[in-house]
A and B are shown apart, each in its own frame.
Chain A
Amino acid sequence: MSRISKTAAAVGLSALFAGGALAQETVKVGVVQGLSGPPAIVDFGESYLQGLRLAHKDYEASDAKTKIELIVYDDEANPQRAVSVVQRLIQNDEVAAVIGTVSSGNVLAFAPILQRAEIPLIAGPSIATNITAQFIDEDPSYIFRCSMVEKFQIDAMLDWAAETFDKVGLVHSTTGYGNVAAEEIQKGMAARDKELVAVEAAAPGVNDLTPQMIRMRDAGAELVLNFHESFELIYRPMARLDYRPTIAGNWGLSSMKVQEIVGADAIEGTVMGQALDLGEEKAQEFDARMREEYGSAYRWPVLAALGYDAGQIMFKAVNEVGTADPKAIRDALENIDGIDAVSATPAQPFSETDHECLNPEHVFLGVWKDGAVVRLQ
């Protein structure tokens, strides 16, 4: 072979390898989260994102063939901004899939846009009952979710409450979230032939729940259901009123931030909807990894676990498809199997008729016990 032929062959081979490398596409996944705004929103959003980033780190460390880039935007807990960043993700960033966000109202604002654009969404950690149900009859639905579902946690709680307590009261916020939760709880109690002994509301910016807790005490409530976004407020008046009912409520009560604010003694025995049992070895290992990875910024195990699982599921689906093909990724998501989830999410979370990671049988009640949230026995 002449020298020129050898050079030409070398150039040809280089071009071939270079072409092969170029063919390995980086798939962009958009992430919308509430990372600023009301404190509860920030805690939900940052914790879910922490888990998601750890899943991405693990994915990159694996021998996965498809490179994935996360593009993260803060929706500031604002529906207009959420819609705007989702449009930006679709049009400018050309993402193949989206994960997010905290506020159910925001998800319900941008989910129809993603459904029309035929881009799959794993919603989370939004909690409103109807998020995937609204789209499940579409042919096909692009809307999935990896998060707690309000109705499931309320049902689990009311079953336990109706069986264990004679007098149950409710404190909820006057936000859309608080009012919807209150309605679901009152319907749920009626379905169990029970009635709440007192129902009190509080504005989102309120600083003192003494008046509401006086009402609870006077009504003799042994269990107070807490569905106010400032989860810690309800504990404050208990010392001054010398009134210590059992507190149960939204999964937000499992946040270590709430424990830090109200104190370990006050929160002991508090019950909430849960999908991660820190009594289990796998959950403890994950918890230790998160503490190592994020230090004091890590504050909410169940949120981080669901974020991690949402990431695992999405990245596995993208890797199976190997290209930025939203329709193929949607199909892969629906049929995904073999997920080794940290939370109670099953190995095959989705099907054609079910786009929720968690079903009623996966949601259980957790309780604060000796500084950790474990399964309520």
Chain B
Amino acid sequence: MTNFLQLLVSGVAMGAIYTLTAKGLFIAHLATHRLNFGQGDFMMVAAFLVMALLIAGVHALLAVILVVLALCVMGYLLERIAIRPLDALAERSTPYAWVLTTAGIALILQNLVELVWGGSAQYAPPLFSQSRDSVVIVMGVGIFVEEIAIIVVAFLVVGALYWFLFASRWGKAVYAVAFNPEAANLLGVDVRGVIVLVFVIASVLAGVAGVLIGPLVSLHPHIGLVFTIKALAVASLGGFSNPVGILIGGLLFGVAEAFSNYWDSAFGDLYPLLFVLASLAIKPSGLFGERHADVR
């Protein structure tokens, strides 16, 4: 039983990170039918930035605020550099040119980080505890303080995003743009502003994931790709149009990963992806894709 709970906790913590990363994909895709193929790399940059600030002696709270602000700027720049020019090109660009432009930005980020911090793995100091091995024991299960923070923050962020999308004016604007950008424009919605906003939010979500995950993994410049792939799997599993579905999908994926590594470690990473493939074959819209109708 203790092993079961231990695996459950470590799976939920990793699943929470996948959820945050996938949420960024979800919100950008919702409003623009596009997403950032460098979402994991934005997360990696945030992790490196917070690591550098903490090592430089900056207070943890200030470091987090600075990194979130930096990610806001990165999200804005992503939209200006990799997304908006494609709209200006209109018919001259292919419908999926954004895959190349966002992946290109991701490669640039990887190389920039490698130039600054080198290609080695790095240690990121913890944010919420004094040492890297701060563990809380609950019913015989060891939980890192950083994992508790990840789980709590992930749920809070999902709640905030839910409120933003379904209870705020800007959230309604996002759905209006998602439904029909031209009609939204006629109704006075700042369509371009909404598009910028969703990429900024997506970037901030990657930033929050990066800030949280740094102390739990070995950081290196190429860590982002795996998280992008897993976030895509999670978004597909939960349903690209359902924010709660993505939360459940993320947690399911993380837990499946932990248990499959326990059951058969040689192919531990394979089974969750096979599970996603099988579920998509049965329900292409994702496990929770139809509970909340896709407004598009």
Contact = CB atoms under 8 A, between A and B. Distances in A.
Interface of A: 35-40, 42-43, 46, 174, 200-203, 205-208, 210-212, 214-215, 218, 230, 232-233, 236-237, 239-242, 257, 260-261, 263, 266, 297, 299
A239 B10 CA distance: 13
A207 B217 contact: yes
Contacts of B266: 174, 201
Contacts of A263: 132-133
6 contacts: A46-B118, A174-B266, A201-B266, A203-B268, A210-B6, A212-B261
Nearest to A41: B119
A39 B121 contact: yes
A308 B120 CA distance: 21
Interface stretch (B28-36, B56-64, B185-193, B218-226): B218-226
Contacts of B259: 211
Contacts of A240: 6, 10, 135, 142-144
Contacts of A242: 142
B27 to A, nearest CB: 25
Contacts of B218: 39, 207, 230, 232-233, 261
If over half of B's interface residues share one DSSP class (helix, strand or loop), that class is named, otherwise mixed; here it is mixed
Given A39-B218, A239-B142, A215 B262 contact: yes
A206 B269 contact: yes
B108 to A, nearest CB: 15
A242 B140 CA distance: 10
Contacts of B226: 205
Q: What are the 8 A-B residue pairs with the smallest beta carbon separation, nearest first?
A: A240-B142, A42-B119, A211-B262, A239-B133, A211-B261, A39-B121, A201-B266, A261-B123
A215 B259 CA distance: 12
Given A241-B142, A242-B142, 20 more contacts: A35-B119, A38-B222, A39-B120, A201-B268, A202-B265, A205-B226, A206-B268, A207-B218, A208-B10, A211-B258, A211-B261, A211-B262, A214-B6, A215-B265, A218-B3, A230-B121, A240-B10, A240-B135, A257-B120, A263-B133
Contacts of A266: 133
Contacts of A218: 3
A214 B120 contact: no
If over half of A's interface residues share one DSSP class (helix, strand or loop), that class is named, otherwise mixed; here it is helix
Interface residues of B, number: 32
Contacts of B14: 207-208
Contacts of A39: 119-121, 218, 220, 222
Contact of B119 (A36, A206, A237): A36
B256 to A, nearest CB: 12
Nearest to B140: A242
Contacts of B133: 239, 263, 266
Contacts of B265: 200-202, 211-212, 215
A232 B135 CA distance: 18
B222 A203 contact: no
Nearest to B111: A36
B75 to A, nearest CB: 25
A208 B257 CA distance: 10
Given A39-B218, A299-B120, A214 B142 contact: no
Given A203-B268, A205-B226, A210 B121 contact: no
A31 to B, nearest CB: 17
B268 A211 contact: yes
Nearest to A212: B265
Contact of A43 (B3, B120, B217): B120
Nearest to A198: B265
B269 A205 contact: yes
A240 B258 CA distance: 15
Nearest to B132: A263
Nearest to B144: A240
Contact of B118 (A202, A232, A297): A297
A37 B119 contact: yes
